[in-house]
Every structure is written in structure tokens, then in C-alpha cells.
Amino acid sequence: VGKRKAQIAAIRRSSGDLVLNVDSDTTLASDVVTKLALKMQHPAVGAAMGQLVASNRSDTWLTRLIDMEYWLACNEERAAQARFGAVMCCCGPCAMYRRSALLLLLDQYETQLFRGKPSDFGEDRHLTILMLKAGLRTEYVPDAIAATVVPDRLGPYLRQQLRWARSTFRDTLLALRLLPSLDRYLTLDVVGQNLGPLLLALSVLAGLAQLALTATVPWSAVLMIASMTIIRCSVAAFRARQLRFL
């Protein structure tokens, strides 16, 4: 019946104060539960996630890139959001929730609709948004390491990314009313996450159109995109102390 129904059944049968969500293809470091539980000691924290790495990182060029993408998503995006107590998506491979809060939110979680039908995607992001709407904090614990299997071929990877993108755009609409109660940085972050890819795609299409119609190369757009890429990769290489980001 799907991940959401399975989660709900497990949560309703649980008895502990904390509930740990782990995907079936994920392996946890031995101290993950302890480190997440320590973060959850504060009663205002409703959920906390650990850092994700690719367990099959060395398999292909794609898995190596995804592992770097995960580092960026965790140690830049989630870490920055956690500075304001509002990680916008506690990822499914390794996330701990406060059971008392979950029980209050289960009905909303279970009855979510998308285009008039029960939703069958975006569980992690939606549950995180519900936690934030309930006034609880969501946190990131960088030293709680979870290794998960990532796609090693382009087709499965693109299908996964499409599913995640649908969830991001849909649940951003649910989060709009929430944003005024959060730090202004988070509003900027959410707007950037949603508009950034669209503007980048528009820039690429406009550049291709210029090349096709005028036979001239859009050097300004090319140099701007290249500069942004080099700066971001250089910052990541410096922070991670890993040359592979270059």
C-alpha cells in the first residue's frame, strides 16, 4: 500500500518517545541513534535528520557525482536551514521524529491529496512541513552518518529527480503561509530553490535561441553560469577539504 501507509501503521503501533525512519537500502553508523536522540532532547525539536552519503559512491561516475550532490544538500542547504531551526525536508533515509507530534499530525499526513487523489510521493518533505506548521523545530546533525544506495544509471536517477522536484514545487505552495513565521533567510532560500532551476533553464534556452537565430555565442550567459559553478565548487572543495569538488 506504499511508504506512507506503512509509516502510519508503524507509528500507531509504536510506543517509544522517538521514532526513527530508515529506508530499506540505508546503513546507519553505530552512533546515529544516540546523536539524533541527543538533538531531540530539546522539547521544541520535532524532527532531526543525519548526513547522507552514497554507499555505492565508487561504482560509476554518476554515483560519485550524486555523493557530492548529497554533501552539498546536507552540509550547505540543510546546515544553513538548521541555523534557523527549520530544515525544510528531513530526508527519509535517516530522520528521527517526536512520536507525540507525529500522532497529532497523522490524520493530515494520511489524507493529503494531489490533484484530487491520495498523494503517493513527497512523504519526507510533507511530514517535515507539517512539523514546522505545528510550531516545532527541525534540525540537521552532520555527524550522524547514514549511507544509502543511489542510482547508478541515468534513467533511474532522472525519474527519482523528477519525483523529488514534483514534491518540492507542490509542498512549497503548502509552506508559503508558513514562511512569514520563519526567518527571512528561509523565505529567500525557498524562493531561490524554486526559481533558480527555472531561471537557469530559461537562460540556457535563451542562449540556444540566440545561437540558432543570430549565429552568435551568448558569451555573457556562458561566463555567468561558468563563474557561478566555479565559485560554488571552489567553496565546497575548501569546506569539505576535498579536491574532487573541483
Relative to beta strand 113-114, strand 117-118 is antiparallel
pLDDT 10s digits, 142-178? 999 999 999 999 999 999 999 998 888 888 887 888 8
Which band of pLDDT confidence, cut at 50, 70 and 90, is reported for residue 38?
Answer: very high
pLDDT 10s digits, 186-205? 999 988 888 988 999 999 99
Instruction: Give the bridge partners for 137, in sequence order.
Output: 45
* pLDDT score recorded for residue 139: 98
- For residue 8, is pLDDT > 90? yes
- Kindly report the three-state secondary structure assignment for every residue of 13-58: HCCCCEEEECCCCEEECCCHHHHHHHHCCCCCEEEEEEEEEECCCC
CATH number for the segment(s) 3-182: 3.90.550.10
The half-sphere exposure of 214 on its side-chain side, counting CA atoms within 13 A, is: 8
- For residue 116, is pLDDT > 90? no
Q: What is the mean pLDDT of the chain?
A: 93
pTM comes to 0.91
User: Which range is least confidently modeled, 12-16, 85-89, 105-109, 112-116?
Assistant: 112-116
Cα 200–177–42 angle (5° rounding)?
100
* pLDDT score recorded for residue 197: 87
> What number is the average pLDDT over the span 132-147?
97
Q: Which of 165, 168, 99, 163 is nearest to 131 (CA)?
A: 99
Indicate the DSSP class of residue 86. B
